[in-house]
Amino acid sequence: MAEIQLTDLTKSYGPTEVLHHVEGDIKDGEFIVIVGPSGCGKSTLLRMVAGLESVTSGEIRIGDRRVNELEPSARDIAMVFQNYALYPHMSVRENMAYGLKIRKLPKGEINRRVEEAADILEIHQYLDRKPRQLSGGQRQRVAMGRAIVRDPQVFLFDEPLSNLDAKLRVQMRLEIRKLQQRLGVTSIYVTHDQVEAMTLGDRLMVLNGGYVEQFGTPIELYDRPASVFVAGFIGSPAMNLLPAEAHSDGIVLPTGVKLAGAQTQSGSVLLGVRPEHLVPDQDGPIAIDVDMVEQLGANSLLHGTLSGTDHAMVASIPGHVATANGTQQRFSAAPEVLHLFSPETQKRLDA
């Protein structure tokens, strides 16, 4: 078990820099999720920690060792790949034992560890099968078993659930979380799925175009997104964003309506408010022309535009609502759920 420190990490492929000055301290036993859209550099970052990609500049420390120059096998890590990467010609047992065999552990010790991992993952009945005789979910378990038997300081997961169907994904997600809590091994998990990220991670590192947008707990990211990108990425449906004018006594919407409340900012801003924070209110200042209603059972999503403008808006209202398409609905929003961002830097304004 170990902390991981990433200091000013940069990665370039030839002249193109794909990761820029990544910083992050990961505590012992923490479950960190790296999340971001496809191509933002998540896998690259993970693979640098694993030692499968070289470090262009900066430093990676695992425990109290600098590992930049160490081979993957010397870093005391285990990795679970998206396509499982099980050795097709070896049985499940041989797959799990292979790394230990290379490390020349005694036979008895290898068997003990394989049995123990098989117990934890309930894969005893498959131990003598080949990977091709297993279903996707079972292969995933074996891949985790292979990681567990190594008894590493760090688990690395690269989108391990994205080849599974939706239901199995939810189930495996819970299992991974439980397993990690039980073993207490520091883990880094890569995904592009924000729901997976929110439910799994102690802390989330949001990457965008090779930059760390924000690194914090799921609730921090939800309550105080550090940038427009994080605001739009975390939470579903995504946060509404509107251009607005901030004044000392309130915020003026594009419709000319003022949302009262003292402001420290002034000038043009991007105003963000989450769909679930819009409260239906007969006299509310925010008017939306509804053009579609999605009934989700527990709540209803009203899609439309801010009245008199063409800014798309979504409101999420608990329970069922009988709103006809084409009607106007009014909402209000509490001052503390309003987020202000700079239109230039896209960063959060009220620090």
Partner 1 sequence: MIENRPFTSFLSHLILILGVIAIALPIWITFVAATHNELRMNQTPLPLWPGTYLWENLQKTLFGKGLSGSETAPVWMMLLNSLAMAMMISVGKIAISLLSAFAIVYFKFPFRMTCFWMIFITLMLPVEVRILPTFEVVANLGLLNSYWGLSIPLIASATATFMFRQVFLTVPDELLESARIDGAGPMRFFWDILLPLSRTNIAALFVILFIFGWNQYLWPLLITTDTSMTTIVMSIKQMLEAAEQSPQWNIIMTTALLAMVPPIFVVISMQKLFVQGLTETDK
Ligand X SMILES: Nc1ncnc2c1ncn2[C@@H]1O[C@H](COP(=O)(O)OP(=O)(O)O)[C@@H](O)[C@H]1O
Residues contributing to the site for partner 1 (CB under 8 A):
50-52, 71-73, 77-79, 81, 83, 85-89, 98-99, 102-103, 132
What is the nearest approach in angstroms of ligand X to the Cβ of residue 207? 7
What is the nearest approach in angstroms of Mg ion to the Cβ of residue 59? 23
Q: Does the footprint of ligand X cover residue 191 (CB under 6 A)? A: no
Instruction: Say which entry of Mg ion, ligand X, partner 1, none residue 261 contacts (CB below 5 to 8 A, set by partner kind).
Output: none
Residues near 328 by beta carbon (within 8 Å), at least 6 away in sequence = 287, 288, 289, 290, 307
Instruction: Say which entry of ligand X, partner 1, Mg ion, none residue 24 contacts (CB below 5 to 8 A, set by partner kind).
Output: none
The single-letter code of the amino acid at 7 is T
What is the nearest approach in angstroms of ligand X to the Cβ of residue 51? 15
Instruction: Say which entry of Mg ion, partner 1, ligand X, none residue 13 contacts (CB below 5 to 8 A, set by partner kind).
Output: ligand X
Phi-psi region of 158 (alpha: psi -120 to 50; beta: other; left: phi over 0): beta
Q: How many residues bind Mg ion (CB under 5 A)?
A: 1
d(CA 252, CA 249): 10
Task: Describe the strand order of the beta sheet including 211-216 as a list of residue ranges.
Answer: 77-80, 154-158, 186-191, 31-35, 203-208, 211-216
Task: Describe the strand order of the beta sheet including 279-280 as a list of residue ranges.
Answer: 279-280, 328-332, 286-295, 299-306, 312-318
DSSP 132: G
Name the strand (E) or helix (H) holding 303.
strand 299-306
CA 12 vs CA 51, 58, 185, 187, 340: distances in Å: 15, 12, 30, 25, 34
What is the nearest approach in angstroms of ligand X to the Cβ of residue 170? 22
Name the strand (E) or helix (H) holding 177.
helix 166-183
Instruction: Say which entry of ligand X, partner 1, Mg ion, none residue 133 contacts (CB below 5 to 8 A, set by partner kind).
Output: none
The answer to whether the Cα torsion of 98, 101, 105, 107 is positive or negative is positive
| Residue 142 DSSP SS3 | helix
Q: Closer CB to Mg ion, residue 43 or residue 153?
A: 43
Instruction: Say which entry of Mg ion, ligand X, partner 1, none residue 87 contacts (CB below 5 to 8 A, set by partner kind).
Output: partner 1
CB 115 within 8 A of CB 146: no
The single-letter code of the amino acid at 207 is L
Q: Closer CB to ligand X, residue 41 or residue 225?
A: 41
Instruction: Say which entry of Mg ion, ligand X, partner 1, none residue 96 contacts (CB below 5 to 8 A, set by partner kind).
Output: none
The single-letter code of the amino acid at 228 is V
Q: Closer CB to ligand X, residue 44 or residue 323?
A: 44
Q: Which x/- pattern, by CB under 5 A, does the window 24-63 give for Mg ion?
A: -------------------x--------------------
DSSP 80: E
Taking alpha carbons only, the member of 337, 297, 294 closest to residue 315 is: 294
Q: How many residues bind ligand X (CB under 6 A)?
A: 10
d(CA 211, CA 8): 11
What is the nearest approach in angstroms of partner 1 to the Cβ of residue 51? 8
Instruction: Say which entry of Mg ion, ligand X, partner 1, none residue 85 contacts (CB below 5 to 8 A, set by partner kind).
Output: partner 1
Q: Closer CB to partner 1, residue 121 or residue 278?
A: 121
Instruction: Say which entry of Mg ion, ligand X, partner 1, none residue 248 contacts (CB below 5 to 8 A, set by partner kind).
Output: none
> Tokens 């309550």 sit at which residue?
223
Q: Which x/- pattern, by CB under 6 A, does the window 19-58 give for ligand X?
A: -----------------x-xxxxxxx--------------
Residues found near Mg ion in the complex (CB under 5 A): 43
Contacts with ligand X by CB under 6 A lie at: 13, 18, 36, 38-44
